[in-house]
Each structure stands twice: as C-alpha cells, then as structure tokens.
Amino acid sequence: MKFDTPAGQNPIDQLKVVGKPTDRIDGKFKTTGTAPYAYERHDVAPDAAYGYVVGAGIAKGRIAGMDLAAAKAAPGVLTIVTADTAGTLGKGDMNTAKLLGGPAVDHYHQAIALVVAETFEQARAAAALIRVDYARGQGRFDLDEALKTAPLKGDSSGEGSSAPPVDRVGKFEQAFAAAPVQLDAVYETPDQSHAMMEPHASIARWQGDELTLWTSNQMINWGKGDVAKTLGIPKEKVRLISPYIGGGFGGKLFVRADAVLAALGARQAGRPVKVTLQRPLMINNTTHRPATRQRIRLGAGKDGKLVAIAHESGSGDLPGGGPETAVSQTKLLYAGANRLTSMRLAVLDLPEGNAMRAPGEAPGLMALEVAMDEMAEKLGMDPVQFRIINDTQVDPEKPNRKFSQRQLVECLRLGADKFGWAQRSATPRAKRDGAWLVGMGVASGFRNNITMKSGARVGIDRKGQVTVATDMTDIGTGSYTIIAQTAAEMMGVPLDKVTVLLGDSSFPTAAGSGGQWGANSSTAGVYAACMKLREAVAQKLGFNSNDVSFADGKVRSGNRSVPLAQAAGTSGLSAEDSIEFGDLAKKEQQSTFAGHFVEVGVHAYTGEIRIRRMLAVCAAGRILNPKSARSQVIGAMTMGVGAALMEELAVDKRFGFFVNHDLASYEVPVHADIPHQEVIFLDEVDPMSSPMKAKGVGELGLCGVGAAIANAVYNASGVRVREYPVTLDKVIAGSAMIA
C-alpha cells in the first residue's frame, strides 16, 4: 500500500480497540519470568556451550602477541576465537569499528578473543589465562583539544535529526550584533551510556551453512544484513530471532560483538554457543551517546521576539563515525529571521559514539532550552510566555512549508495551568520549604516524526483467530499490544482473538524499534495487510468491498452477515502487504511537541538536588494505547532525570577509556529518585503521518526534560549550571554560601 495522500476516514477511526488504555499483552510473561530473552533460549539450544569475551586492554595500537596455550589447556575449553582463526571478516554498514579486533586495536575493550567452554565459569577462568602483549599507539581522547582543529561536518542521525555542516538563513552576525538583548553561552553535555537492564546477548546455531541467531536486537532486518556482510555469507542464509528485548535505547539498533562472536564460536566449536557481554564491556565495547560542546547565541528585541538564532555544536567519534546532530531542533523550533547552525566532528579513539534515545534533540535541547530561559530572564519575561511569542506555524527556514500539526503553545499553556506555574516566583531563591530551596523549570520538547516502510502478514484460521506476523520488535515499548489492537480494530474481533508474532527475520520486514518511528510505522504496515485481507474476505464471499464492515467477529454487507471463521474456511485466509510512505513529509513538516514542567528542591546547606514533581504535556498525533504511551513517556522523563543530574561517563584522557564502566559507578535514577510524574496527551490526529494518524511519543518524553530540571535548579538556588550533569558540587561552587 502506498501512502501518498492524507488519510481519510478509515476503520481505525472507529476507536473500538485502538486508542483504549490496554494492558500489555507481554506484561504477564515478563512479570512471571516466562518471557524468554536471548540468553535464556535453552529450548532451542539445550547443548549450547558458553563464550566469554576478552576485551582489548588498550585504546589504540596493535596486538604484538597473544599467548593462548594456558587457556586452551584449561578445563572444559572447546575453542578460542581470535582474528587469526576467524578468517576474513567484513564490517557491517551500521557499526563504525570492527566487531573483532586484531592485530589492530581501534578502541578500549574492543573484542579481541572469545573463549568457548562447557560452562560459563570455565570460559571465564580460561579467558583470564590469555596473555596479550600490546604495542600501544598514540590515541586522541580529549574532546576539547580535538575540537580546536576539527572540521565542519554535517550528517543525519538516521532517526530524524540532521543538519548540514553549516546552514545559514538571513544575516545572523549583523542581526545578532544589532539586537538590543543578546545571549552568548556555551553548554556541555557528557558522554552517556544506555545502561539497559538486559546486556547484549546472543545464541548462535549453525545447520550446515545456515545460521540462526537468537539475539537482543532492535532492528531485525538491519541486523540480518550486517551479520551476513560481516561473516561474508548470503543474507538468505541468516535468520535473526528477537521476540523479547530487555531494553535497547538505541544501543541495540545495530549488531554488536556478542552476535558475531557467538556465530564464529559456534562455527569453530561445531555446536551452539551463547555469548553475553559482561557489564563492564557493555559500556566501552558497544555504543554510547557522545559528549557535546554547544555554543548558543540568541538576539532579541525588547518585545521578546527573536531576531537572531545561532547554535553551533561539536562532538567526537571514531574514524568514519558521525557527529551528534545536536543543532537539528534549533532549525525548526522557534521563529527568527536570521539563523545559523553548524556542527564539527573531532576524530577520537574512544569507543563508538552512536544513537542513544532521541539522538540529536536530546542533548541539543539540554542546551537550547536553558539558553531560552537565560534569554527570558535578560528580557524580564516569563519563560513560558517567551517561548509562546516565538512560536511558528511554518518551517522558519522555509516559510512556505507549514507544520502538519503543531500544538506547542497548547502544550505550554495547558502544562502551566495544570502545574501551577502562576505560583512560581521569577526571583531565584524566593521559595523555601524548611531547609529546601524550591524552584520550578520549564522547557519545550521537540522530536521529528519520521516513518519507515513496514510490512506484515495477517491470517484468519477456521476458528476465527487472527494471527499477525512481522519482524517488528518489542523492546519494552508495547509493540505486541498496539499491533494486536490494530488487527482487532481492522478485522472486527476482540483482542483475545488476535495472536501477534514478532521479532523473527523469517516474517515480513517491519520498521523495527528506533527513532520514535516504530509504533506508527509498524501498525500502519499491519493496517495495510489487514486492508488486503479484508478485500480477500469480501471477494471470497462475493461482497462489495466498498460496502463491507467487520465487527463482532462477523463480516457484513447490506443485510448479509457471515462469521469471520466461516469466511476463512477450513484452509484459512491470509494476506501480506507493507506500507510505503510517499513524499507527504516533504510537503508539510511532521514533528511532535511537548511542554515539560519540573519542580525541584535544592538543599540550602548541602546543595543536594531532589526532584519533587514532573509533568509532560505531549502533542504526538493519535495515541494508540494511552496506557503504554504514558509508560513510555514517564520512562523517558526518568531518563531525563539521569541525564540532568547524574549520568556521566568519566573519560580517562591518558589511556582512552570510560572509567566508570559498571552500574556501581555509572549512576542512573532509582525509584527513590523519581517522585510523582504526570503525563497529558493532547487530542490530536495527523492525517499526513499515516493511516493510523499517529506519531511517535517515546523519545519526545525525554527531549527537553534535562533543561527543565536545570532551569528549576536555577530558579531554586540562583546558580546557573551549564555543564551537565547538574551536581551538588557545581551548585555549591556557583554560590559562596547557598544558605
């Protein structure tokens, strides 16, 4: 099905099942421990051996020698995979560094060996016996130093945020110089880790020359292609299976070392092999969100209208990598005639920087939305009102191109009303609750809406049971449920009459989970397949397909009614189709918007920061399942708390690695850190987006939260921190005596 005209009235608009707050279908399996994750597939590989990954002990250089003798002689060892035994390996399209190093080492903890043994303990013990001699090379590990000579570099995150090396509209420098009110400030965001609960894990099994991988991967089709390319085998010889994934956040968009090494280990051992990356290797071996250095300049008239906007960002990555596209949202979020954005990319020898939840906008808004608050203060304006008067209903760089839907102002006004913004004091340090200084902060949320071709196969059996099969994944986002809701709505059956099969590359290719595109695109693919199946049912029954309805398990046309099971017959019926998106997104800008509000307490004597309450008001098209959508947003808000207050990978600039590479020292929010959270969804449908008239919402919940927290800390304490995370030492340093 080609989607190249705005959606009209269709069966989804009945909203009998879609749009209802529905418990997650997979919830009972996950809460009872019966949802099998990749490492737990004992049913498919009961005789699997265990692999243990050895990571490089240097960040840059070469392996001069590797002594495997003691490890090979250790109890239970079956084989050891190294670059010497693996043969010629390619590099997938999606990863920057090779997944198996040697003799060259590209980054710290790059996999250089896999020990395969009968038990995990035997593999781990033998891995400790491997002796590696390194010839250490000169590495580049200091972002600030590298940015001094870094070239301009444009790119796309592949997830909706993109920018050229330099983008100019109007005459920024002249307009900024002439502006009555100016802001020129630099903001820093650190390297951050996904830190998902389930580590990267895979089980590999060969049957002849065909490979099956049970793995934890967000994008099945991408992964299948990269495995095939890395191993140098035909794509049709590879099958990936990922029905349950314990968190990804972008860290599992691409195949990592566990999958490739499991395949190599299984081939060498002649039996299935299971591999999981031990937690310390996850942070240095896989991908992370790169640090940024962002300069923002704003110029405004005394009426508060922006006349000049500049956002320049610098980040680093391995050779061949790309920049963090932190300036992307600034191209679209606020009006202003004279504009400048630019990005620089430094070459670093740190582990690979790549997509992490809401790449581009998440760190970009951490800077832009603090700058907007600082500018509002300079103007003597309320921060909410300042944002509202600089709203635009058209692309500010292409004024003839309007937004398909844009309710940012409504998000901000409703949020301010519900949060009690009128009680906020514009004067910092004005409100106190015992020993706590109390403040409120606001920020706009923005995330582009993108769509991706997505397919599905839908069938009906002789009992009237509807089965959907698609390689779409569920990374804890509720894909099983919204896909079932879509099929139930389209075929006129209750939810318990729908079975959903996900995460298998033998199923039709879907969008996969990433970039906030998964829900809208994958359900649109199911919609397309259901439309095709409805047509097949109508033709079989001799009904006019233009005058047919599916409801209560029956097919009706005029005064005729046939049970769906009877229509399917003893052999059943099935149909397969995909949604292919035309150029509607080029005609009108498709984006999602939010207003984020936060109240914090800052201890007057210690500088300790505590979140007191949070609110997100979101405008993101039709909400397919308000219950799971709310969970997505509050999860993103929680991630925003981590980014604002605690998450930071500490770089050892001497030896080139992230020092705090475990969950004991890389801090993330826990339940005690998160107070009351509230989410409001505006009533909105977007016919330009898809037949579902929906958009993504999961990453929107993160975009802007960090800045709202930083702004609240300033309102409470009077200390402006421009270097994330906002920690108590920085608050104390900003004030000679907080109390």
Catalytic residues: 699
Can you list the pairs that 560-566 forms with residues at least 24 positions away whose Cβ atoms lie under 8 Å? Answer: 563/464, 564/460, 564/464, 564/491, 564/492, 564/493, 564/537, 565/460, 565/461, 565/462, 565/463, 565/464
CB 122 within 8 A of CB 79: no
CA 339, CA 210: separation in Å to the nearest integer? 54
Alpha carbon separation from 706 to 161, 642, 644, 713 (Å, rounded): 18, 8, 5, 11
DSSP 232-270: T--GGGEEEE-S--S--TTTTSS--HHHHHHHHHHHHHT
What pairs with residue 709 in β-bridges?
Answer: none
Residue with tokens 């939810």: 495
Q: Can you tell me which residue has the tokens 């061949």?
A: 320
**Which residues fall within 8 angstroms of residue 676, CB to CB, at 6 or more apart?**
613, 614
Query: In whole angstroms, what is the distance from residue 564 CA to residue 152 CA?
Result: 60
45, two tokens: 């590989």
Q: Is 678 exposed, middle or buried, given 0-12, 13-18 or 19+ CB atoms closer than 10 A?
A: middle
Greatest extent of the chain over all pairs of C-alpha atoms, in Å: 83
Q: Are 357 and 638 in contact (CB under 8 A)?
A: no
Extended strands (E) in 17-60: 49-55
CA distance 224 to 113: 22
The answer to whether residues 640 and 706 touch, using CB atoms and an 8 Å cutoff, is yes
> 67 by DSSP, 3-state: which?
strand
Check if the beta carbon of residue 622 is closer than 8 Å to that of residue 524.
no
Quote the tokens at residue 724.
């994330």
Contact 576, 529 (CB under 8 A): yes
Q: What is the DSSP string of 433-466?
A: ETTEEEEEEEEEEEEE-----EEEEEEE-TT--E
Q: How many residues does the chain have?
A: 739
Question: d(Cα 727, Cα 641) in Å, to the nearest integer?
Answer: 12
Q: What is the DSSP letter of 108?
A: T
Nearest to 487, CA basis, from 666, 692, 663, 650: 692
Q: Which amino acid is at 134?
A: Y
Q: How far is CA 571 from CA 26, 566, 568, 717, in A?
A: 29, 10, 7, 70
